[in-house]
Structure formats: structure tokens, C-alpha cells
Amino acid sequence: MKAIEKLLLAVENGKHICVGLDSDSDRLPKHLLTNDNPVFEFNKKIIEATRDYAAAYKINFAFYEALGIKGLEALIKTLKLIPSETLVIADAKRGDIGNTSKKYAQSIFGHLKFDSVTLHPYMGFDSIEPFKAYKAKLTFILGLTSNPSAKDFELQKLQNGNFLFQEVIKKVNDWNEFKNLGIVFGATKFKSLRENFGLIKNLPVLLPGVGAQGGGLKEVADLFLKNKKSDFLVNVSRSLIFADNSPNFQQRVREKIIELNEQVCS
């Protein structure tokens, strides 16, 4: 199944929540720390709790690479637990050129078999093209991100009067002849999202920043649904996976993802 088909299947079934597996080893429930690979055991319980309700999973590479071989083992074993019909995003934020970009794409799409990836566009089309060549995959390109320092570059004005992030979104539309590109737009930047909604056109959107970063789920979802655009994913990471640290934490995680989906669709 193509990546975009997995996304559309999920949203047709009322699922818009992307579970961010930012599985920080410093925040795991203490009762898991005696396991041989605590991060994997944590992910296993999170997936068991959310697999029937998640539109997608986003694996943030930093939390796995920081642990060396053990972390990479946890990442690979985690991938095997996720249902085959569910979209899996490599939150790797790659962005290089030439053979380097080809090898990054080969690693994420060819070897690890992720459905999707996040990229930054700073180096231009050369850095995107090797990923775009995997036509069955889905590549999310950073547009306007949720962090405060987005203003350092993304909100700089160009000579043509556009903000840099606006130019990025226009370029992604131009590059999207295979219909396998999307954008990342921070939910914390709701005013900018509303004002620039027309730029997005047919691009799927990944929206981080809800929860711990302060983005509002309901207002974001209402904007998309009011404009009859359903191909969006709202990523929720820390406020979901660390909602409870007790030995029964997965029960609270299950309740919370159900609540989040209900907020989107209500």
C-alpha cells in the first residue's frame, strides 16, 4: 500500500492523531528500567495502547541515535510492532545533496522501510529529489515549524515580499508531480496557518506542536475540516506518551488518544 493511501485510509476512519514516539530514556516509567531495552519495552506498550486509534506513528531518530546500538535496536524492533496498514514516519529531518542524500533515502526508505520522512529544504531541490524518487513513499518538507526560533529564517522576508516559508510551500507544490510530497506546519503557528491555508493546496500536512508545545488541537482541526481538507495529521508526542508514569500508564495513553480523536471529529 502506498504511503498516501495509508494516510487517507486512516483519516477516512476518523483517525488524525500521529503518535510521536519521542521515547526519551530519561522520562520512562521507572518500572521499565530493569528491562534489557527499556525504550523498546515502552514503545511496545504505547503501540499496544494506541494501535487501534493512531493514524500514524512518528519515530524521532534523535531519541534512538543518542543511545547508540541499543537505541537503533529499539527503533528496528519498534518498526516490526506497528501494523502494516499504519503510516510510519521517520522524523529524521534530513537534507543533504548528491550521493549523501541518495544514501539517506536508501537507508530510510530502502533499508528501514519507513513509509515517510521529514526533510528540511535549506539546500534546495537537490536535497529533496532522491527521496521524491521513491514514488510510493511520502516526504514531508519543513514549511513553518513550531519552535520559537522559526523566526530566525522561516519568517524572514525575501525581496519579492514573501516570507521564506511561503516560498518553500510554493516550491513543494511545484515539485509535487508524483503526488508524494507534503509539508510540516507547526500547530503553534495557527494564525499563519489560517492566513496561508490557500498556499497548501493538495499537499498533505503534518502538524506538530500540539500539547507540550502549546498548539491547540481543536482550532487546527476545525480549520482543516471547515475547508474540506482531510489529509492532515496532528502529531502528539510528550503529552500523550508520558501522560502517566504509573505501572498502568498504557491505560491512560489509550484513553487520551481516544479523547484526542474525538476532539478532532466533534
Which positions are catalytic?
93
Nearest of 212, 225, 210 to residue 260 by alpha carbon = 210
Distance CA 40, CA 36 (A): 9
Phi then psi dihedrals of residue 109, to 5 deg? -95, -40
DSSP state for residue 133 in the 8-state scheme? T
Look up residue 191 and give its amino acid: K
Phi then psi dihedrals of residue 200, to 5 deg? -70, -35
Nearest of 234, 241, 209, 187 to residue 50 by alpha carbon = 241
Per-residue b or e along 213-250, where b marks 16 or more CB atoms closer than 10 Å to that residue's CB = bebebeebbeebeeeebebbbbbbbeebbbbeeeeebb
